[in-house]
A = this chain, B = another copy of it.
Amino acid sequence: MQNSFTEENYLKIIHALSGRDGGEVSTNALAESTATRAASVTDMLRKLAEKGLINYKKYQGVTLTELGEKVAIKVIRKHRLWEVFLVEKLGFGWDEVHDIAEELEHIPSEILVEKLDAFLGHPRFDPHGDPIPDAKGNLMEPDYGVLTDVQLGEKVRMMGVLDHAPSFLQHLDRSGLTLGSLIEVKEINEYDRSASVQIDGGPTLFISLEVSKNVLVQRR
């Protein structure tokens, strides 16, 4: 049978919290991310385990099974493709698309996804720099660094963001930081780890640690 909207969300969140190592995810972490209570999570975990989507032993946390992983990646693929559509075709800002994509990602129809993918020209990344899984379910996570780890004087390319909150994305817009920006670290303040960076060889910008922490860059 089909998976419900709610089940798909649990799988997607388990995938995200599990990280690239595929480690166990705790009931409390899921309660936090799903905005429900731990007791509700336990109920759902029993059901997902029943359906063979997760590995679950009481009190031990959960991981996705291969099947669960496949389902999660399909949802992520749809989410990111729809985000590309919203930005590239409909003209939404990258700060406006996440919530709409949260709904669109649950529309069924394999063929819809594949036609959408073709219509968009088989994009490799979504508007936030996140990689789009291919039709076979392969998800290549590029290993970007965080701006915090960049040394003084280094030049890096902005490739993505860790925080997807509209307020953060809007802040980046106002700062003139977008995907692809060339960032040169001109100064790092020991006291609060804020920094001055030069964008695309042009204007210099002051950024807080909070921002640096959430900007993904390609070091070369």
Task: Note all chain B residues with C-beta closer than 8 A to A107.
Answer: 100, 103-104, 107
**When the two chains form the complex, which single residue of B96, B99, B103, B112 contacts A90, counting CB atoms closer than 8 Å?**
B112
Task: Note all chain B residues with C-beta closer than 8 A to A89.
Answer: 89, 119
Whether a CB of chain B sits under 8 angstroms from the CB of A2 is: no
Task: Kindly provide the distance from the CB of A75 to the nearest chain B CB, expressed in whole angstroms.
Answer: 15
Digitize A58-94: 1 where CB-to-B-CB distance is under 8 Å, 0 elsewhere.
0000000000000000000000000000100111100
Task: Tell me the bound Cα distance from A115 to B97 in angstroms.
Answer: 12
Task: Kindly provide the distance from the CB of A84 to the nearest chain B CB, expressed in whole angstroms.
Answer: 14
**When the two chains form the complex, which single residue of B86, B103, B108, B115 contacts A108, counting CB atoms closer than 8 Å?**
B103
Task: Note all chain B residues with C-beta closer than 8 A to A111.
Answer: 96
Whether a CB of chain B sits under 8 angstroms from the CB of A167 is: no
Task: Tell me the bound Cα distance from A91 to B120 in angstroms.
Answer: 13
Digitize A102-116: 1 where CB-to-B-CB distance is under 8 Å, 0 elsewhere.
011001110110011
Task: Kindly provide the distance from the CB of A97 to the nearest chain B CB, expressed in whole angstroms.
Answer: 10
> For chain A residues 182-204, which have a beta carbon within 8 Å of chain B?
none
Task: Identify the closest chain B residue to A5 (Cβ).
Answer: B5
Task: Kindly provide the distance from the CB of A176 to the nearest chain B CB, expressed in whole angstroms.
Answer: 25
Task: Identify the closest chain B residue to A107 (Cβ).
Answer: B103
Task: Note all chain B residues with C-beta closer than 8 A to A99.
Answer: 109
Leading 3 A-B pairs by shortest Cβ distance: A90-B115, A103-B107, A100-B109
* 21 A-B pairs with C-beta separation under 8 A: A86-B112, A89-B89, A89-B119, A90-B112, A90-B115, A90-B116, A90-B119, A91-B115, A91-B119, A92-B115, A96-B111, A99-B109, A100-B107, A100-B109, A100-B112, A103-B107, A103-B108, A103-B109, A104-B104, A104-B107, A107-B107
